[in-house]
Amino acid sequence: MASVYSAGDFRNGTTFEMDGNVFRVVEFQHVKPGKGSAFVRTKLKNVITGAVIEKTFNPSEKYPAAQIEKKEMQYLYNDETLYYFMDNDTYEQTPLNKEQIGDALKFIKENMTVTMLSYKGNVFAVEPPMFVELEVKYTEPGFAGNTTTTSGKPATLENGYELTVPMFVNIGDIIKIDTRTGEYMERV
C-alpha cells in the first residue's frame, strides 16, 4: 500500500488523511478542461464522522495514506437494528448498524465472509467479495419469443436486493453479481 497518495491516483476506496481527518474516496472523476489545468473532482466520506463532502484536488497534491486495518469476518445474522459479524480467528462477535455497513448490505447473506475495514479500532466499511452468488426469490416470468426487449426485468434476491436481470432468469435461479457495479453477471 502506498504511504502517500497523489490526488491523481485517487480511486474508489482510497483512504487518506487530510486536515487531521481520515477520508475514503466514494466517487472520483478526472477532469481535463479545454483551458486551464486538469483536476480531480471527488466525493469523500469522513470515516470517523460518516459525513460526505465534495472536494476538488489538483492531481499533484499529495496526502498520507491512512493506516487501515482489514480483517476477514463472517456475517452471522441481524436482529432488526444490528448486523452481527464474527471474527474467524477469535470467534468474537461485532455488531454493526446499517450506516456502518453501507452499500455492502445489498450483497451479503448469512455465513458469507466479508472484509471489515477499520481505522484505530472504528469500523467504517464492510467490503463484500468482488462477486457474490444469490438466489432469485421473485421475478416476473419471461416468455418464449420475447427477444425484442434487451432491457431485462426486475428481480428480488434472497437478501432483498433488487436488480435488473435478463428475460431468461427465473425464480430459484442462482445468479452471479459484480459487487463493484451491483450488476448481473451470469446465471450459475
Please state, in angstroms and as integers, the Cα–Cα distance from residue 86 to each residue in 50, 52, 76, 93, following that order.
23, 28, 7, 4
Q: pLDDT tens, 72-129?
A: 999 999 998 999 999 989 999 999 998 888 888 899 999 999 999 888 888 888 999 9
H or E element: which one contains 4? strand 4-6
Does residue 75 share a domain with residue 59? no
Give the pLDDT band of residue 172 (cuts 50, 70, 90). very high
- Report the CATH number that the domain containing residue 102 is assigned in CATH: 2.40.50.140
Does residue 24 share a domain with residue 41? yes
Among the three residues 98, 127, 156, which one is the final residue of a domain in this structure? 127
Does residue 53 share a domain with residue 104? no
Q: pLDDT tens, 3-53?
A: 899 999 998 888 999 998 899 898 999 999 888 899 999 999 898 788 899
- Write down the pTM of the prediction: 0.74
Which residue type does 108 have?
I
Does residue 121 share a domain with residue 76? yes
Mean pLDDT of the chain: 89
Among the three residues 95, 127, 159, which one is the final residue of a domain in this structure? 127
Total domains in the fold of the chain: 3
Residue 150's domain spans which residues? Answer: 131-187
